[in-house]
Chains A and B, each alone.
Chain A
Amino acid sequence: MTAFLALLGREVRLALRHPADTLAAVLFFVIVAALFPFGVGPAPETLARIAPGALLAAALLAALLPLDRMFGADAEDGTLDQLLVSGLPRAGIAGAKALAHWITTGWPLMAATPVAAAMLNLPVEAWGTAIAALALATALLSLLGTAGAALTLGARRGGVLLPLLVLPLAIPAVIFGAAAIEAAGAGLSPAPFLLLLGAGVSLAVPLAPLAAGAALTGD
């Protein structure tokens, strides 16, 4: 546990020293959300109709951005070898990486959600649900993305391969997340959809780090 927290603390500290990566993901999210009004026209009803799906899709794409450096930077400077012989189980290394990715990318995206939601004319009543849905969806993406990043580590053009591997697996997050926001906007309870999304995260919490750990090797 000490080793897990040490690695988590180091990852967060490194992200704070290089805020550009986090900032890039947040700006990407806001800009993609801002493109929709230009594409579909500024009619408030049309925008509000597409807002839930657009928010989810933009957030997941933004959260993908820092993933291809997740293990790559450590592999290049030799840190990954040191982590592998540190005594921390490989699944533990992957779990700490996934949690750090969620904290440094998922949390800022949640903070930026009201800005993107306002641009998409999402009803204010649904903003809280949108933040909750994004919290769960980005957590799922952090977990799946860690497995994808471990699998594509060392692969030629791994940065292109990674979204192709991870995004299809994230489709349930888009479906249930958007459904939750839509329900909240229509005055219905978003709880069933958020619970289903939460079930997906609970499934990925043990499985994704195991998969990522199995893919991490010293080769």
Chain B
Amino acid sequence: MAAGNGPWMGAGLTEVGGAVLEVRDLACLRVERAVIAGLSFRVAAGSAVLLTGANGAGKSTLLRLLAGLLRPAEGAILWRGEDVAADPGAHAARLRYLAHQDAVKPALTVAENLDFFARLWGGDVAPALAALGLEALAELPGRVLSSGQKRRLALARLALAPAPLWLLDEPTTGLDAASVERLRPLLAAHRAAGGIVLAATHIPLPIEDAEELRL
């Protein structure tokens, strides 16, 4: 990863050719206020980037920009040199976005909740549930889950089918230590396959040699 600004410039610098995801001069306005301005960085395949910064620093906004849910006021997001805004469908197909909300439907069972996403992306429900230790809860309706169990169900979407870009907003909120540990093999396998992780977090994630981007 290479930085265009900030104190971490030069840390883990990647050749331009090696970068998969590139953010160029990004700016975003929220209610007339610039939350992100002049942000540039590059991420190579297999890298993990932890987004840190105070509340309101723009971590979630950056993830929503990268997911294509917000439009940048200035600048561009490039995937292998091509602007992602040119083909939103292709960009959506390559990313998984874990938001603050878990997107768990209370009326559907755990398996049915995940099955909907399996139909969108492919992959099998049972191994994904097992990866997050949810097998025993498969037939329970979403409304009886605790907040940590809902979070695990949201994280199980990552285990369904591979996608090269993971955008995680506070992935470990509400998780117990054992569940946080369950993320380690998931994250490692994703990176070993050349996937990129960008995670906004306050809590250390079970992830080796991640780089930090302070917003």
Using CB atoms and an 8 Å cutoff, list the residues of chain A in contact with chain B: 2-3, 5-7, 10, 13-14, 17-18, 76-79, 81-82, 84-89, 217-219
Contact = CB atoms under 8 A, between A and B. Distances in A.
Contacts of A6: 116, 119-120
Contacts of A17: 107-108
B70 interface: yes
B97 interface: yes
A104 to B, nearest CB: 13
B108 A13 contact: yes
A97 B92 CA distance: 20
Interface of B: 64, 67-70, 89, 92-93, 95, 97, 99-108, 112, 116-117, 119-120
A79 B103 contact: yes
A218 B64 contact: yes
A89 B99 contact: no
A87 B93 contact: yes
21 contacts: A3-B120, A7-B116, A10-B105, A10-B116, A14-B105, A14-B107, A18-B107, A77-B102, A77-B106, A78-B100, A78-B103, A82-B97, A84-B68, A85-B68, A85-B69, A85-B92, A85-B95, A85-B97, A86-B117, A219-B69, A219-B70
Contacts, number: 70
B170 to A, nearest CB: 13
Given A6-B116, A78-B99, A79-B103, 17 more contacts: A3-B120, A10-B116, A13-B108, A14-B105, A14-B108, A18-B107, A77-B104, A78-B103, A82-B117, A85-B67, A86-B92, A87-B89, A87-B120, A88-B120, A89-B89, A218-B67, A219-B70
Contacts of B117: 82, 86
A119 B102 CA distance: 47
Closest 7 CB pairs of A and B: A78-B101, A218-B69, A6-B119, A17-B107, A78-B103, A87-B92, A79-B103
A66 to B, nearest CB: 15
A122 B33 CA distance: 61
B65 to A, nearest CB: 9
A2 B67 contact: no
Given A10-B116, A78-B101, A85-B95, A218 B107 contact: no
A79 B103 CA distance: 4
Contacts of B99: 78, 81-82
